[in-house]
C-alpha cells in the first residue's frame, strides 16, 4: 500500500475526484454521458432519448467512440428537464432550443445568439403562449370540478332524503320472524 503524496490528493470540484464542485463553479471540461446525466439529474437513457428526439446537438466522440459533452449540453439538458416540468411538449422544447442552441429544422444555424434581445423576446412569446394554455386548462378543470361537485351534492341530497325516510321511528315492524339463537 502506498501513501498518497500531496500532489495525489483529490482536487475539490474536479470530475471523478469524489469531491463536489463548489457552487457557481463550472468544470468547462468535456464529460461523458454518465457525468452529464448525473449533473443534470436525469438518467443516461434520458440523455440518449433527448438526442434521438433532436433536442440536443449530436455529441462529439472520442477515438474510442465515447460521447463527449460540454457545459452547453448540460445547460440544454437542464433546460429540457425544467421545461418538461412546466408541461412543454417535446416539439415546443425543440422550438425554444432552436432559438439559440440547435439548428433549425431546415438545418440552418440558430437564428439568435443566446441572451440577445431578440432571442429573449421570442422565448418570452413561447413561454407566454404556454402560460395562457395552462390557464385555459386550469379554468376548464375548475369548471369540470364545479360540475362534479354539483352532481355529488345531488347524490348526497338523495341519500339524505332516503335516510330520513328510513329513520327508526318510521320503520314498520318486519313481517319476517325473528331468528332464534341456538345454543
Domain count, the chain: 1
Question: Would you say residue 109 lies in a domain?
Answer: yes
Location of C-alpha cell 502506498 = 2
Determine what percent of the chain is predicted with pLDDT higher than 90: 48
- HSE (side-chain half, CA atoms, 13 Å) at 38: 10
Higher pLDDT, 114 or 56: 56
Going by pLDDT thresholds of 50, 70 and 90, the confidence category of residue 16 is very low
The pLDDT value given to residue 17: 38
Question: Would you say residue 183 lies in a domain?
Answer: no
CATH number at residue 98: 1.10.1660.10
Question: Would you say residue 4 lies in a domain?
Answer: no
**pLDDT at residue 169 tops 80:** no
Contact 37, 44 (CB under 8 A): yes
pLDDT tens sequence across 18-39: 444 444 445 568 999 999 999 9
Query: What is 120-142 written as a DSSP string?
Result: HHHHHHHHHHHHHHHHHHHHHHH
Question: Would you say residue 100 lies in a domain?
Answer: yes
Give me the domain span that covers residue 78.
Answer: 25-155
pLDDT tens sequence across 67-113: 899 998 999 999 999 999 999 999 999 888 888 777 666 666 777 77
**What letter does residue 112 receive in the DSSP assignment?**
S
Going by pLDDT thresholds of 50, 70 and 90, the confidence category of residue 119 is confident
Question: Would you say residue 127 lies in a domain?
Answer: yes
**pLDDT at residue 154 tops 80:** yes
The pLDDT value given to residue 76: 92
Amino acid at each position: 500500500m502506498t501513501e498518497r503524496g500531496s500532489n495525489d490528493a483529490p482536487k475539490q470540484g474536479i470530475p471523478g475526484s469524489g469531491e463536489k464542485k463548489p457552487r457557481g463553479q463550472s468544470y468547462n471540461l468535456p464529460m461523458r454521458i454518465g457525468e452529464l446525466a448525473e449533473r443534470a439529474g436525469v438518467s443516461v437513457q434520458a440523455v440518449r432519448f433527448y438526442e434521438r428526439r433532436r433536442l440536443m446537438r449530436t455529441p462529439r466522440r472520442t477515438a474510442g467512440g465515447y460521447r463527449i459533452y460540454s457545459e452547453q449540453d448540460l445547460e440544454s439538458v437542464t433546460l429540457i428537464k425544467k421545461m418538461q416540468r412546466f408541461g412543454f411538449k417535446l416539439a415546443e422544447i425543440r422550438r425554444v432550443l432552436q432559438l439559440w442552441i440547435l439548428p433549425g429544422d431546415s438545418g440552418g444555424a440558430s437564428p439568435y445568439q443566446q441572451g440577445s434581445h431578440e432571442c429573449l423576446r421570442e422565448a418570452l412569446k413561447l413561454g407566454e403562449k404556454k402560460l395562457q394554455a395552462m390557464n385555459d386548462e386550469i379554468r376548464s378543470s375548475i369548471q369540470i370540478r364545479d360540475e362534479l361537485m354539483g352532481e355529488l351534492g345531488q347524490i348526497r341530497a338523495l341519500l339524505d332524503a332516503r335516510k330520513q325516510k328510513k329513520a327508526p321511528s318510521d320503520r314498520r315492524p318486519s313481517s319476517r320472524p325473528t331468528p332464534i339463537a341456538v345454543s
